[in-house]
Structure 1
Amino acid sequence: MTPKRSKAERTRQFIIETTAGIFNTKGYAGTSLNDLTEATGLTKGSIYGNFENKEEVALAAFDYNLSRIKQGIQQRMDLAATYREKLQVYGDVYRELFRNPIVVGGCPILNTAIEADDTNNLLKDRASKAILYWKKNIIDLIRAGIATGEFREDSEPERTALSIIALIEGGIMIAQATNTPMYLDKVLKTVDMLIGQLEKRVP
């Protein structure tokens, strides 16, 4: 049974969920306190009574957006029968994320990494950790596939993981910049090819 949240916890969660799309769309620098008060209907004092500053709200919003994506990926992975299918979940989820966002504003990792690169070390660190977490998960799936004999023993898990992440995030960036979703589809075909190359060839 889930413990009942206090009023303060419910208010804090309301602020996070209500502002998550704003931060992901406008970025940290582009989001004003007025944006937060208008979206939530709360006063400045109420918001800062639950968070130390705007940066703390932005960090919590990033975590919330990322958790939504992780949840969508995990639900798909639980249904996948093979390690190839599990790896292909990433492309499938991010393709849908671009067209029918489960979080407003698109990929929070891409958005935050680009904006925070030279402006906010805490947000940059959050994006960095998200990428490393993603890389580790892909490496673990590839190694598990090697262990079960589904993937080739000479597969290079880290190189493949970094390539998959770079292709997906780069594809999203190109598709967003040009407003051409088809470009992401083309890039994701390369991701599928890369995953296919991991499989053992039947003589």
Structure 2
Amino acid sequence: MSKAQLTRSHIIQQSAEVFNQFGYAGTSLADLMQATGLKKGGIYNHFASKDELAIAAFDYSVGLVQQRYAKALRGQRASASRLRAVVDTFCATIDEPLMKGGCPLLNTAIDSDHVHKGLKSRAQAAMDKWRSMLEKIIRYGQKRCEIQGAVDPDVVATIVIATLEGGVMMSGLYGDRIHLDRAREHLMRYVDSLLVPP
């Protein structure tokens, strides 16, 4: 990796945490300069604008999340085990956060809604990937007769994601992980309800 590539990578990594904590609108150039240790010219030598940097930082953050899921799913064969691994991996981010500020997808989805159309479409694409991963697990389970055929994969994806994101939001708001723990317990029972009876 060249020096320029290393510098660009450093800027993205440091900026990702700042954007994740303060959002696009709440992040100033001064915040980015402080986080990266670079002056304005040093940042804009690698990125044409704050927009371009914000998108690169979001892509980096989502990449970290996707790597964590890929690692958790490796070696899991049964669809129920895969669904439980997704839930547990998400819940583990409270104890082992990838970066300060919480879930980058939730933060960006909320922050970018009326502020930044490019980030909003990136957040939608990342959410589509997450939903698609869950839907594939359900379809795979149906094909193997592990999950009931009447189960709608899209509905399951919505319920799992909304429950997890709601749980982490409430735990963050109240400073009490009990809300995410309750969401996890509910989803574990929900996964059981999807299975073909033995």
Partner Cα distance (1:46, 1:173) in 2: 35
Aligned-partner SS, 1:151: coil
Q: Work out the percentage of aligned pairs sharing the same amino acid.
A: 36
Q: Quick one: which amino acid aligns to residue 121 of structure 1?
A: K
Q: Per-residue displacement from partner, 1:73-93 (whole Å, max 9, x unpaired)?
A: 110100323111111122111
Partner Cα distance (2:191, 2:161) in 1: 12
TM (norm. structure 2) is 0.96
TM (norm. structure 1) is 0.94
Aligned residue in 2 for 1:57: 53
4+ residue stretches of structure 1 with deviation over 4 A? none
In structure 1, runs of 5+ residues without a counterpart are none
Q: Given the alignment of the two structures, is residue 8 of structure 1 paired with residue 9 of structure 2, yes or no?
A: no
- Equivalent position to 1:101, from 70, 80, 97: 97
Query: Offset at 1:174?
Result: 1.1
Query: Offset at 1:132?
Result: 1.1
Name the Cα RMSD after superposition: 1.1
Q: Given the alignment of the two structures, is residue 81 of structure 1 paired with residue 45 of structure 2, yes or no?
A: no
Q: Per-residue displacement from partner, 1:22-76 (whole Å, max 9, x unpaired)?
A: 1101111111111111111111011001001111111111111111111111101
Aligned residue in 2 for 1:121: 117
Q: Quick one: which amino acid aligns to residue 37 of structure 1?
A: M
Partner Cα distance (1:56, 1:188) in 2: 36
Aligned residue in 2 for 1:151: 147
In structure 2, runs of 5+ residues without a counterpart are none
Partner Cα distance (1:14, 1:60) in 2: 12
Q: Quick one: which amino acid aligns to residue 194 of structure 1?
A: Y
Partner Cα distance (2:113, 2:86) in 1: 24
